A and B are shown apart, each in its own frame.
Chain A
Amino acid sequence: MRGLRGEAAIVGIAEFAPVRRPDRTWMELEAYAELARLALEDAGFTHGDVDGLMTGHVAESGGLFAPGHLTEYLGIGSHVSEVVDLGGATGAGAVLRAAMAIELGLCETALCIVHTLPRPKNPKGGGPTFRMGAWGSPMGEFDYPFGAVGQNYAYAMIANRYAYEYGLTDEQRAKVAVDQRTNAAANPKAVFRDPIDIDDVLNSPVIVDPLHMLEIVMPCFGGAAIVVTSKEKAKRAKHRPAYIIGGGENTTHLSVTYDPSFTETPIKAAADRAFAMAGVKRSEIDLASLYDCYTITVLLTLEDTGFCGKGEAGKFVEEHDLTYRGDFPMNTHGGQLSFGQAGMAGGMSHITEAYLQMTGRAGERQLRRCDTVFVHGNGGLMSEQVSLILRGE
């Protein structure tokens, strides 16, 4: 099959520790610049190396001409610029696009930067212009009036449908949150580090049936940047390069109502493409870095990425230790459930953790061996799916 040849690599990362109550504000362009500076420093690269840019939106641009604003502000010339708009899959989507552009020879070193941080108050008033449910938005017209607002309800409905078709207990879902919290306890950057057990999860209030508070991400602020470069330039990076050897993407809907199936999700097509492209078996994966906006998301991702069979995820998480000490290390940074979900940058954390593990910099939670990593990003209401397979040489 045609696809990536594994000739682009992650060589540097930067990440602001997620915070719930930030002690400072950032202009968005300022945060882009600071994250760029830190990630280039991590790579051992300079400002002059950058010739590609994959980012989120820029509030100061008012929703238009983001690359123009960014290249000018950062003082770079970019041969490939893109605003990636894939919700929680934006980080993985940005890295995939960077690898594509580099392999095609369109650029050599791309910065992928995503952040969600509080902006200073505009003295003349007026807020950001981004808003869901604008006039003419099918979601605004046919979901919101019924109370189908936000994300919680959608994943709760997915959980209920899954339990109806395959059976799933509250305890099985809770196990995901518990193991990830164990990981977070070993991560100084994580927001939630106090150990929890299954009862703690099940005794937390039900927000939307059947999901409890501790099964739902807590939004916070943060941001991250990733440097992706060519094989040639990767040789002079400070740390071990993580080659992007497989990638797959799939988007089918926005509103969960129009998700073709709640239980055989759009995740599968993205993951199958990534594994086929990389020529890697599931059993070769040393770390699974799976997007976790809710416990149920992780269970469905385990199935549809092929780590277990359909209907087996509940049993799988019961039978495996998902911690950094375990037989199936997953979301060793704590996942968004415990590390924190820094808005759009939440999905960056699954990649930055992969790179920390692959370069032996994960501290107390360092895996003994971490050469091949599977990363999955999920956006919206199970809508945008991006899978990546990374391999260290």
Chain B
Amino acid sequence: MPKYRSTTEPLPVPTPISQPFWDGTRQHRLLIQRCDAGHVFFYPRSHCPRCLSNRLEWVEASGKATLYSYTVARRPTSPDFEADVPFVIAVVELDEGPRMTSRLVEVDPDAVRIGMRLEVVFDDVTEEITLPYFRPAGG
């Protein structure tokens, strides 16, 4: 059962390209990709978005991040999230560089500040899918 949200929908439906990422979150590991030219990126792709290299490897991210921006949804952004409001939608910048969309948890929405340090926290929503959220670092 999800810890940080009231429903299990919508859930990601992995593709052959993204499956390793979701396998990673299930083991509470945050995996990103690196190409042979050293470019690191997220979300999972078949080719590097900086050079189109198809020689890629998965690397484990530290899970440390900085808040790039956020908003507090005071009204649900879709009916699936009706019971969750208010909740914090965030764009985080991983210490490795790439940005991710996520939610901030274990924080008072009014205490959220851009630039705050964050750490990943995993929510086992179903047996197959674990979502990576972020909370204030050291929290």
CB of A250 within 8 Å of the partner chain? no
With A148-B89, A157-B70, A256-B91 as given contacts, are A141 and B18 in contact (CB-CB < 8 Å)? yes
Contact of A257 among B75, B100, B115 (CB under 8 A): B100
With a cutoff of 8 Å between Cβ atoms, the chain A residues found around residue B74 in the complex are 205-209
What's the Cα separation between A256 and B71 when bound, in Å? 13
* Smallest beta-carbon distance A65→chain B, Å: 28
CB of A227 within 8 Å of the partner chain? no
CB of A164 within 8 Å of the partner chain? yes
Number of chain A residues whose Cβ lies closer than 8 Å to a Cβ of chain B: 34
With A147-B84, A157-B89 as given contacts, are A142 and B12 in contact (CB-CB < 8 Å)? yes
CB of A238 within 8 Å of the partner chain? no
Verify B13–A153 contact, CB threshold 8 A: no
CB of A120 within 8 Å of the partner chain? no
Verify B10–A144 contact, CB threshold 8 A: yes
CB of A145 within 8 Å of the partner chain? yes
Q: How would residues 110 to 138 of chain B score, 1 for a CB under 8 Å from any chain A CB and 0 otherwise? A: 00001100000000000000010100000
CB of B15 within 8 Å of the partner chain? yes
With a cutoff of 8 Å between Cβ atoms, the chain B residues found around residue A146 in the complex are 89, 101-103, 131, 133
What's the Cα separation between A256 and B100 when bound, in Å? 10
What's the Cα separation between A141 and B15 when bound, in Å? 9
With a cutoff of 8 Å between Cβ atoms, the chain A residues found around residue B133 in the complex are 146
Mark out the residues of chain B between 80 and 107 whose CB falls within 8 Å of any chain A CB in the assembled complex: 80-81, 84, 87, 89, 91, 99-103
With a cutoff of 8 Å between Cβ atoms, the chain B residues found around residue A148 in the complex are 77, 89, 101
With A146-B103, A149-B78 as given contacts, are A161 and B68 in contact (CB-CB < 8 Å)? yes
The stretch of A132-140, A270-278, A327-335 in contact with B is: A132-140
With a cutoff of 8 Å between Cβ atoms, the chain A residues found around residue B131 in the complex are 145-146
CB of B1 within 8 Å of the partner chain? no
Chain A residue nearest in CB terms to B43: A142
Chain A residue nearest in CB terms to B22: A141
Chain B at the A interface: SS class: mixed
Chain A residue nearest in CB terms to B110: A209
Interface centre among A133, A152, A258 (most CB of B within 10 A): A258
Chain A residue nearest in CB terms to B87: A147
* Smallest beta-carbon distance B83→chain A, Å: 11
Mark out the residues of chain A between 133 and 179 whose CB falls within 8 Å of any chain B CB in the assembled complex: 133, 135-136, 138, 140-150, 152-153, 156-158, 160-161, 164
What's the Cα separation between A127 and B5 when bound, in Å? 30
Mark out the residues of chain B between 29 and 45 whose CB falls within 8 Å of any chain A CB in the assembled complex: 43
CB of A262 within 8 Å of the partner chain? yes
Verify A153–B73 contact, CB threshold 8 A: yes
Verify B18–A147 contact, CB threshold 8 A: no
With a cutoff of 8 Å between Cβ atoms, the chain B residues found around residue A207 in the complex are 74-75
CB of B11 within 8 Å of the partner chain? yes
CB of B72 within 8 Å of the partner chain? yes
* Smallest beta-carbon distance B101→chain A, Å: 5
Verify B11–A153 contact, CB threshold 8 A: no
* Smallest beta-carbon distance B87→chain A, Å: 6
Chain B residue nearest in CB terms to A163: B114
With a cutoff of 8 Å between Cβ atoms, the chain B residues found around residue A251 in the complex are none
Verify B99–A208 contact, CB threshold 8 A: no
Verify A257–B15 contact, CB threshold 8 A: no
CB of A255 within 8 Å of the partner chain? yes
What's the Cα separation between A157 and B71 when bound, in Å? 5
With a cutoff of 8 Å between Cβ atoms, the chain A residues found around residue B87 in the complex are 147
With a cutoff of 8 Å between Cβ atoms, the chain A residues found around residue B43 in the complex are 138, 141-142
With A157-B91, A164-B114 as given contacts, are A147 and B13 in contact (CB-CB < 8 Å)? no
Verify A160–B114 contact, CB threshold 8 A: yes
Chain A residue nearest in CB terms to B125: A145
Verify B69–A157 contact, CB threshold 8 A: yes
With a cutoff of 8 Å between Cβ atoms, the chain A residues found around residue B81 in the complex are 147, 149
Verify B89–A160 contact, CB threshold 8 A: no
Q: How would residues 251 to 292 of chain A score, 1 for a CB under 8 Å from any chain B CB and 0 otherwise? A: 000011110001000000000000000000000000000000
What's the Cα separation between A176 and B120 when bound, in Å? 38
Chain B residue nearest in CB terms to A146: B103
With a cutoff of 8 Å between Cβ atoms, the chain A residues found around residue B13 in the complex are 135, 140-141
Q: How would residues 186 to 224 of chain A score, 1 for a CB under 8 Å from any chain B CB and 0 otherwise? A: 000000000000000000011111100000000000000
15 pairs of residues in contact across A and B, judged by CB atoms under 8 Å:
A133-B10, A140-B10, A141-B15, A142-B101, A146-B101, A146-B103, A146-B131, A147-B80, A147-B87, A153-B77, A157-B70, A161-B114, A208-B77, A209-B74, A209-B109
Which residues does A use to contact B, with CB under 8 Å?
A: 133, 135-136, 138, 140-150, 152-153, 156-158, 160-161, 164, 205-210, 255-258, 262
9 tightest CB-CB pairs across the interface, nearest first? A156-B71, A161-B69, A157-B69, A209-B72, A149-B78, A164-B114, A149-B77, A141-B12, A257-B101
